Amino acid sequence: MRKTIIGIGGMHCAGCAAGIEKRLKGLPGVADARVNFAGELAFIEYDPAVVGIEDIRKAIIDSGYRPFPLPQAGDSSGQAAAVDRDRRSLKARVVISSILSAPLIYLSMAYTSVFPVQGLVLKYSAPIQMFLTTAIVICGFSYFASGFAAAFRQRRANMDTLIVIGSGSAYIYSVFLTVRSWLTVGLDARVHLYFETSGLIITFILLGKYLESTARARTSGAIKKLMSLAPETALVLRRGTEEQIPFAELAAGDIVIVKPGTRVPADGIVLEGYSSIDESMVTGESLPVEKTPGSQVISGTMNRTGAFRFKAVKVGGETFLSQVIALVREAQGSRAPIQELADTVASFFVPAVMVVAAGSGLFWMFAGRGAAFSLSIFISVLIIACPCALGLATPAAVIVATGIAAAKGILIKQASSIQRGEHIDTVVFDKTGTLTQGALRVTDTIAYGRPEDEVICLAASVERDSEHPVAGAILQEARSRGCALRGVSGFVAYPGRGVSALVDGEHITLGNRGAMAMKNIQLAPRAVEDAAFFEEEGKTVMFVAGNAGLYGIIALGDAIHDRAAEAVEILHRMGKRVVMITGDNRRTAEFVSRALSVDEVLAEVLPQDKERRIKDMQESGVKVAMVGDGINDAPALAQADIGIAIGSGTDIALESADVVLMRNDPRDVAFVLDLSKYAMKKIRQNLFWAFFYNAVGIPVAAGVLYPVSGFLLDPMIAAAAMALSSVSVVANALSMARYRRPYDMRKTLSEK
């Protein structure tokens, strides 16, 4: 199965998106399809052996809409250009219809004393109104086409269908009266026409859609900002000369030259030169990062000082920046569970409104109010109904929320994570690399009957092929002492305990107390006391043993993250319970726990047992967020209600967690949970007003207040109210831009 994202132009409402989605899901080989009206995107999972991209595009075209390719980083074409074209066209139609509506309103008062019309204009008022309204109908032809396509081609009514029936009824009825008067009375017949109703309905709809599209364009600002990070060209070294090439022509293996003030066009490895790079827009880290030969560089980052050359490893859609853009797009197109209610209502909404409109019109007709009165009721009910507000309520807020997070270096992969994040009451941190800096170093060495250097060399030899943080620290210490590593065979790892191997024929074990117990190695009282002393200081203790027993102790320290205490404090202030889980011994874990004031410590937990501990918490009724590195903690991250990978940004982390924090700041965990709560508040506000608007507007349009107060809703006012309802929902979502992180408005602990 493959996944693809296609832009879709020409959608006017959530019903359009639902119709396209149904059509795509009906294609053989399409496993899933989600169409996002707010983002104008289709997310499709398909089997390329059964259905191709062209088949999918053709299905969209046959539904009456326009597919277009999405732009990639460094590409100015695609969605942005297509959306801009649509918006310019819509703006032109708004201007034309507004100009034509002015004389139409004036002529509609031809037989009143307010604005008296004289001469030939009065005599030919009816045909002039018909001409002006016909021109306005042409401006809104796309809605008529979409409405008919939905009704006949897709056998599904949508918002455009309501507009077609409402404005079309007024137009056709007025044309009928005009023609009949010509044939029976003459050109100067004085008849009550509804041309201005039809024309102004279309004008208000066009104006509302223009305002809505302009507002929706602002919701995707995060994507545009990410897209702008990649340069349009790259300076490469080919055939011994510098050559400026388009970004799209950059290939893996190219030697790229980056000068001060320019952006890195690909992911790669620095070959020569020295520089300082601003990675804030990708990782969220504000301080520039120094780059020397061997350093990795990320596409889209800004080179501040110095020039360097690097080898392009990942280009185009394979770069980290492109992966981030794809993840943000997918998140913005995903559905939160709360949206299911709105989707269910919207699926029955239009047919129900048509029934209510027809029933209301017939009721007043049989009540003796006449055809004109009944037609006005019928049109008002059709026009004031607005499924668009329901369809936009959730996705608009999701798009803005994920965009806010992406701008801060946080990737929220699914909208469902936002909804689950609101209910989290317990946050479980893996210690190493989250609450601590994750960079272990050897702080102390004690040897028993052997030189210290030999103990270090034996330990480093066993760990020479390991990628564990402990191994890295011991190998770094061995290099600093000038130790020559020895030959190793029979390497065995004991997860959560240690490792062993044959070093020059001698069986060497390096590990914690559990490893020593497993190997039946006795620890002398002095060694136990030495180990306890280091553990009281919060250090990790590794024992080195061989055929002759215990050879020494290596103590390693991992400094507490300078923002960990503040992260825990903020979470406590938010009412969250904080738990630390680690494979370290209890003394080390409790030292860190006391320093950070966490609520509970789970120490000496093996990697395979972390998932079970998370599950136990969930079975007790709590909602758990697990914070880890996204690799070793993958099972626990998957089991938690929300898995958060911190300080990562690797491909594995992107796959294993629901949320990825691209910078190593534990405070961002509080940001994610607080943003989730804020976004859900906005979603509920949007849904409330969307439901409230329709619940009140439709009965009022049907004339429930007329017998009591004599109030009757004019169809033109109904059109204006409908247009503004969608705009208000999007505007409420955009107001989220005022959101500030829990720690943006207060001083850090160090500043206090």
What pLDDT was estimated at residue 745? 44
What pLDDT was estimated at residue 75? 56
Angstrom CA distances, 191 to 187, 238, 274, stand at 11, 79, 83
What pLDDT was estimated at residue 673? 94
What pLDDT was estimated at residue 72? 62
Residue 26, SS3 per DSSP:
coil
Q: Is the pLDDT of residue 545 over 70?
A: yes
Report the percentage of the chain scoring pLDDT > 70: 86
Among the residue ranges 2-16, 20-34, 181-195, 718-732, the one predicted with the least confidence is 181-195
Q: Establish whether 430 is a catalytic residue.
A: yes
The token pair at 364 is 């007043």
What pLDDT was estimated at residue 82? 56
Element (H, E) at 365: helix 339-366
**Residue at token pair 């790669």:** 268
What pLDDT was estimated at residue 221? 63
What pLDDT was estimated at residue 497? 86
Q: What is the 3-state secondary structure (H, E, C) of 111-170?
A: CCCCCCCCHHHHHCHHHHHHHHHHHHHHHCHHHHHHHHHHHHHCCCCCHHHHHHHHHHHH
What pLDDT was estimated at residue 9? 80
Class of domain 412-428+563-662: alpha beta
Name the residue with higher pLDDT: 465 or 93: 93
Report the percentage of the chain scoring pLDDT > 90: 26
Q: For residues 82 and 39, what is the distance between their CA atoms, to the nearest angstrom? A: 13
Average pLDDT over residues 12-20: 76
What pLDDT was estimated at residue 445? 94
Q: Which CATH number fits domain 2-69: 2.60.200.20, 3.40.640.10, 2.60.40.420, 3.30.70.100?
A: 3.30.70.100
Q: Is the pLDDT of residue 632 over 50?
A: yes
pTM of the complete model: 0.70
User: Which of the four pLDDT bands, split at 50, 70 and 90, describes residue 429?
Assistant: very high
- Burial tier of 707 (Cβ tally within 10 Å: 0-12, 13-18, 19+): exposed
| Cβ proximity of 704 and 446 under 8 Å | no
Average pLDDT over residues 592-599: 90
DSSP code of residue 748: -
Angstrom CA distances, 276 to 76, 264, 303, 409, 594, stand at 28, 12, 6, 19, 37
**For residue 525, what are the contacts with CB-CB under 8 A and spacing of at least 6?**
none
What pLDDT was estimated at residue 154? 61
Residue type, 117: V
What pLDDT was estimated at residue 318? 83
**For residue 259, what are the contacts with CB-CB under 8 A and spacing of at least 6?**
235, 303, 307
Domain extent listing, the chain: 2-69, 84-219, 228-317, 338-409+671-752, 412-428+563-662, 441-557
Among the residue ranges 443-452, 489-498, 640-649, the one predicted with the least confidence is 640-649
Q: For residues 204 and 380, what is the distance between their CA atoms, to the nearest angstrom? A: 13
Q: For residues 405 and 82, what is the distance between their CA atoms, to the nearest angstrom? A: 26
Q: Identify the active-site residue in 75, 267, 430, 558.
A: 430
Q: Which CATH number fits domain 441-557: 3.40.1110.10, 3.90.45.10, 3.40.367.20, 3.40.50.11740?
A: 3.40.1110.10
What pLDDT was estimated at residue 17? 81
- Give all strands of the β-sheet with 302-305 in edge-to-edge order: 289-291, 275-278, 302-305
Average pLDDT over residues 489-504: 88
Specify the CATH number of the domain 228-317: 2.70.150.10
> Residue 359's beta-bridge partner residues?
none
Average pLDDT over residues 252-261: 92
What pLDDT was estimated at residue 747? 43
